[in-house]
Chain A
Amino acid sequence: FGLFSNDNSNQVGVSLSDFRGSGPLVESRGQPGGTSIKDLPPLEGELTVYVGGGEGGLYLDLLKLFEQAYDGFSVNQRVEGSSSLANTIIEENDNNATRADVFMSVDAGSLGAVANAGATQSLPSEALNAVPGSFQDGDGRWVGFAGRARAIPYNTNQLSPSDIPNKVSEFPNSGVLEGTMGWAPTYGAFQSFITAMRLNRSDDAARSWLESMQNHGITEYGNEFAVSNSAADGELAAGFANHYYSLRVRSGRQNAPLDLYFTEGDAGALVNVSGLEILNGTQKGELAGNFVRHVLSSEAQEFFATRAFAYPMIEGVPPVGGLPRIDELNPPDIDLTELADVSGTVELMRDAGVL
C-alpha cells in the first residue's frame, strides 16, 4: 500500500488490509479516499467508550484495531442496547457522574436523545466537515460514521423488483405482498422508520399505514436479521429491514435468493446513521475528538463498508458492491435528530395495535 507510505505520516501498527473485510462482496475494491489514520495525530491515552446496540459488537473490532495501531492507546468499552445506554448516559449526566468519554451508537435516535438532554460537547470541525450535513446533527452535537438504509429485502424466487411499489404507502394495496411480509416492530430501526414516516407525512398517515399493513397480513419478528433471513428462506416474500442484514445473510449463504429493494423519497428509504458524540463530563475532549476523526478515517470507513456492509460517511469510500451509492438513494428530507422522538412513535404504534 504505497499510498500510505509517505514520510510525514506517523507510524501505525496496522495496515488497510486489517480493516478491510473479505469475501465476494469485498473483492476487487480500489484504494479508499479520504484522510488516512496515518495523517492523523496519534491516539494516546485511555478512552472510555459506550457502544450502543447489539450489532455494535462489530465495532469492538475497530476499537481493537486502533489499540493495535497505537501502543499508548487503549479503550474501555461497554456494549449495551443503545436506548439503554442513552438512558444511562442521561442519568449519569444528571448526577455529574459521566463515566464515558464517547458515545458510539447504532441509532441516531439515541444520539439525539443524549444530545437533547444536554449531555454532549461539541465535535471537532474536521470531523463535521468530512460528513454530509444530512448525516450529522444540525448543531454539530453528533456525527454519523456509518449509514444504515431502510430497505425491502425480498426473495428473488418469489418477487421481481417490478412487483414492489416504489412507495411504502402503496404496500397495503399490493396484491403480491398480501400476507407475505414480515417486520420487527420492537426493533429501534423500525421505530425510527415509523418516526420518519410521521415526520415525512403525518401521525395519522403513519397510524393508518400501520393498521392497513396489519390488515394486509404481516408476520412479526424479534429482529430484522430474522426478517431478512426468513425472506432468504422463502418463509417471507419480503420484509422491512436495515439493508446490511441482507448483506450479512448473503455473506453467510452465497446463493441465497435474496435482494434489496429501495423505495423512493419516503420513510422506506430513510438512511439512518450510526454516530458518535463526545460526552459532557469527559476530561479527555482532545483525545475524544481525535478518536472521532479516526472513526471517520478512510481505513475505518473501509471497515464499516466491508465488514458491517454499512454506507460509509466520507467521500472516497464507496459502499460494497451491489449497493446503490448513497447519493443514488432518495431518502426523505428529515432531520435525523428528530428521530429521537421515539416515545410518540411507540404510543402511536401501541395505538395502532402493533406494539
Chain B
Amino acid sequence: MGASDRLDRIRERASVADRDADEPTVLALVVTAISLLLLSPIAWVLIEASEMPTDRLVELVVSDTTTTVTLNTLVLVAAVTAMSVCIGVPLALLTVQTDLPFKRFWTVTAALPLVVPSYIGAFAFVSAFGPRGELADLLAPLGIESLPTIYGLPGAVLVLTLFTYPYVFLTTRASLISFDGTAVEAARTLNASRWDAFKRVTLPQILPGIAAGALLVALYTLSDFGTPAIMRYDVFTRMIFVEEQARNLDAAAVLSLLLLVMAMAILAVESRIGASRDGAYVSSGDRRAGEIKLGYWKLPAMGFCALIATLCLALPIGILGLWLVRSTAAAPAGFVFEAQHVTNSVTLAAGAAALCVVVALPIAYLSARGDGRLSSLPERVSYVGYAVPGVVIGLSLIYLALRFVPFLYQSLFVLVFAYVVRFLPQAVGTTESSVLQVDPSYIEAARSLGYGPITSFRKVVLPLVAPGIAAGAALVFLTTMKELPATLMLRPIGFETIVTYIWLVRGAAYQGQAAVPALILVGVSGLSMLIILRQEA
C-alpha cells in the first residue's frame, strides 16, 4: 500500500480508535493545560506592553528604525532559511539517496554543526575572516591587503546558515528515509528522468519535511540575538535588547509582540506547506528508492560535503584551538573552569530534555491522531515560545515567578520550564512523526487482547515511538546546552554552566579561557547528535 494511502487510513482509523468517550477529553484537557502554561510567558509581554502610553507606542511602532529593522530581520530570516534549504536538502539527498562514499561519515559531519553555538561560530568567523583576522594575517605576506568584509548581512546570513541548516538536513533526511521509493520508480517507468522524478514526485512529498526544518531555522533566526550582533547586522532582537538594556521594558514587550506577529506569519506559511501532510515526512514507505549513482559527480559531491564540514566544524574548532594555544595569561581566580560547570550544564540539559519529552508526547499524540485543526493547535502553540528571544522569556519568567510562585523563583524548576517553553517544538516534531508511523491497529489489537487504552499505549505505542522520542530529547538536550540568555537570567545564584562561564570570560576578554569549555560543550552535544543519527539507522 502506498505511503500516503497508509497514512490516510491511519489518520482515519486513529481518530476513530481514540474516540472513546473519556480518554480524548482527558488528553485534550491535559494538552490544553500544557498549552496555557507554555503561553504564560506571553502574558507578561501583553501586560508589559499594555502599560506603554499609546502615543509612545505609536511612535515606536511607526518609527523609521522599526521599519528598517523589521525589513532587515525579514531579509535575514528569508535569506538564512533559503540558504539552509539550499545546503540542507542537497546534503540530505547525497547522504540518503546516492552512492556517496563514506556516507555515514558525511551524515555525521553534516548534522554536527548544530552542536556549535552560533555565537561561537560567529566569533570564529570573525576571528578567521574579519579584518586583521587569522586569514588576513595568513594572506598579508602574500600582498593581499584587504578581504571582502564579512560583517553585515552577508556575514550574518553565512554564519546563521552554517550553524542552523542541520535542522533542514535532519528533517529532510527523515522524510527521504521514510519516503516510498516505488513512486519514484513509477515515475521513471513513465519516462521521467531522475531529475524530473525528483521534481515532480519526490519534492512535493518531502516538502512538508523540508518545511518543518525550514520553520525551525526561520524561527531560530528570528529569535537569535548573539549572531547578528557579532556580525553587526541590525535586527529586531537587537532592538529588543537595547530596550531591555535601557530598562524600557514596555517598549521591549511591544517589540516582542511585533516579533511574535512575524513568527505567526512564518508559522502560517509553514502550515500551508505542511497542511497536505500526506507527504512522506510522516509515513513510511515500503521500499527505498534505488541508489543514485554519482559517477563523475562523486568527487565534487564529496568536495561539497567537505567544504561545509570545514566551514562548520574544522574552522570553529580550529579557532578555539588557536585561542587555547595562544592564551598566555593564567586564568584569574574568579575564572576557574570547574567540572561542576559541565555537570551543571549536562544535568540541566538532561532535565529539560526529559521534561520536554514528557510534555511533547501528549501534544504530539493529539496532533497526530486527532482530527481537525483544533487538535493540532497545541502543536502550533508550542512553536511560539521557540520564536521568542531568550531575554524576553527570562524577563517574563522572573516577573511571573516572583508573583505567582515565589518559592520557585531562581530555582532550577523555572529555568527548566524556560527551556521547555523555548525548545519544546523540537521534541514535538520528532515525536509526532514517529507517532504517525505507528499503525493504530496495534492499539486495537492490544485492546482486543484485553488491555485498557493506557496500558495498550504503554505496551505497544511507547516502545515503537521511543526512537523518535530519543531523537527529540537529543535535540532539546543539545540546544539547551547552548542556550545563554535565559540561563543567565534564571539560574539560581552561584549556579554556573558551561555557557555562563564562556559568557563571563568572554565579557572580561579572556578569550583563551573560553576555548576549553567551548570545546567541551561541542563534544558533549556531539554525543547527543550521535543518538539522533543512530535512531535513524
Give residues in A with beta carbon < 8 Å to B: 48, 53-65, 76-81, 83-84, 86-88, 90-92, 94-95, 97, 99-100, 113, 186, 188, 191, 220-222, 225, 230, 233-235, 248, 252, 307, 342-343, 345-346, 350-351, 353, 355
Are B65 and A55 in contact, with the CB atoms below 8 A? no
Q: A48 — nearest CB in chain B belongs to which residue?
A: B493
Cα distance A77–B495 when bound, in Å?
9
B399–chain A nearest beta-carbon distance, Å: 6
Tell me which residues across on chain B come within 8 A of A60, comparing CB atoms. 332-335, 504
- What is the size category of the interface that chain B forms with chain A? 35 or more
Q: B328 — nearest CB in chain A belongs to which residue?
A: A252
Interface: B406 (CB within 8 A): yes
Tell me which residues across on chain B come within 8 A of A353, comparing CB atoms. 64-65, 68
Tell me which residues across on chain B come within 8 A of A343, comparing CB atoms. 243, 246-248, 251
Interface: B120 (CB within 8 A): no
Are A95 and B406 in contact, with the CB atoms below 8 A? yes
Tell me which residues across on chain A come within 8 A of B65, comparing CB atoms. 350-351, 353, 355
Cα distance A91–B247 when bound, in Å?
11
Cα distance A96–B394 when bound, in Å?
19
Are B508 and A222 in contact, with the CB atoms below 8 A? no
Tell me which residues across on chain B come within 8 A of A191, comparing CB atoms. 245-246
Cα distance A56–B132 when bound, in Å?
28
Cα distance A62–B334 when bound, in Å?
8
A94–chain B nearest beta-carbon distance, Å: 8
Tell me which residues across on chain A come within 8 A of B406, comparing CB atoms. 95, 97
Asked if A57 meets B504 with Cβ closer than 8 Å, knowing A186-B238, A186-B245, A235-B131, the reply is yes
Asked if A346 meets B332 with Cβ closer than 8 Å, knowing A54-B508, A57-B505, A84-B489, the reply is no
Interface: B244 (CB within 8 A): yes
Closest A-B pairs by Cβ, 5 of them: A54-B507, A60-B334, A342-B246, A346-B246, A61-B334
Residue of B131, B242, B489 near A186 (CB, 8 A) is: B242
Are A58 and B232 in contact, with the CB atoms below 8 A? no
Q: A344 — nearest CB in chain B belongs to which residue?
A: B246
Tell me which residues across on chain A come within 8 A of B398, comparing CB atoms. 87-88, 91
Chain B interface SS verdict (over half): helix
Tell me which residues across on chain A come within 8 A of B329, comparing CB atoms. 252
Tell me which residues across on chain A come within 8 A of B64, comparing CB atoms. 353
A336–chain B nearest beta-carbon distance, Å: 16
What would 27 A/B residue contacts be, using CB atoms closer than 8 Å?
A53-B507, A55-B507, A57-B335, A57-B505, A58-B334, A60-B332, A60-B334, A65-B333, A77-B493, A79-B500, A79-B504, A80-B489, A81-B245, A83-B245, A83-B246, A88-B398, A90-B247, A186-B229, A186-B245, A230-B131, A230-B132, A233-B131, A252-B329, A342-B248, A343-B246, A355-B238, A355-B239
Are B494 and A355 in contact, with the CB atoms below 8 A? no
Tell me which residues across on chain B come within 8 A of A83, comparing CB atoms. 244-247
Tell me which residues across on chain B come within 8 A of A235, comparing CB atoms. 131-132
Tell me which residues across on chain A come within 8 A of B403, comparing CB atoms. 95
Cα distance A71–B474 when bound, in Å?
44
Given A87-B249, A186-B241, 16 more contacts at CB 8 Å? A54-B503, A54-B507, A55-B508, A56-B507, A57-B508, A64-B333, A65-B333, A77-B494, A78-B494, A81-B488, A95-B402, A188-B245, A222-B232, A230-B131, A350-B239, A355-B65
Tell me which residues across on chain A come within 8 A of B232, comparing CB atoms. 220-222
Cα distance A79–B391 when bound, in Å?
15
Which residues of chain B from 42 to 89 have any CB-CB distance to chain A below 8 Å in the complex? 63-65, 68
Q: A340 — nearest CB in chain B belongs to which residue?
A: B247
Cα distance A90–B247 when bound, in Å?
10
Are B239 and A78 in contact, with the CB atoms below 8 A? no
B67–chain A nearest beta-carbon distance, Å: 11
Cα distance A97–B506 when bound, in Å?
31
Tell me which residues across on chain A come within 8 A of B125, comparing CB atoms. none
Are B242 and A61 in contact, with the CB atoms below 8 A? no
Asked if A57 meets B334 with Cβ closer than 8 Å, knowing A77-B493, A222-B229, A235-B132, the reply is yes
Q: B64 — nearest CB in chain A belongs to which residue?
A: A353
Which residues of chain B from 229 to 258 have any CB-CB distance to chain A below 8 Å in the complex? 229-230, 232, 238-239, 241-249, 251
Are A351 and B248 in contact, with the CB atoms below 8 A? no
Are B409 and A76 in contact, with the CB atoms below 8 A? no
A66–chain B nearest beta-carbon distance, Å: 11
Which residues of chain B from 202 to 220 have any CB-CB distance to chain A below 8 Å in the complex? none
B43–chain A nearest beta-carbon distance, Å: 15
Cα distance A108–B430 when bound, in Å?
48
Asked if A225 meets B402 with Cβ closer than 8 Å, knowing A63-B334, A83-B246, A99-B410, the reply is no
Interface: B360 (CB within 8 A): no
Interface: B509 (CB within 8 A): yes
Cα distance A90–B399 when bound, in Å?
10
Asked if A78 meets B493 with Cβ closer than 8 Å, knowing A64-B333, A346-B246, A353-B64, the reply is yes
Are A91 and B334 in contact, with the CB atoms below 8 A? no
Tell me which residues across on chain B come within 8 A of A81, comparing CB atoms. 245, 488
Interface: B395 (CB within 8 A): yes
Cα distance A54–B403 when bound, in Å?
28
Tell me which residues across on chain B come within 8 A of A54, comparing CB atoms. 503-504, 506-508
A84–chain B nearest beta-carbon distance, Å: 6
Cα distance A342–B249 when bound, in Å?
12
Cα distance A163–B239 when bound, in Å?
35
B11–chain A nearest beta-carbon distance, Å: 47
A118–chain B nearest beta-carbon distance, Å: 15
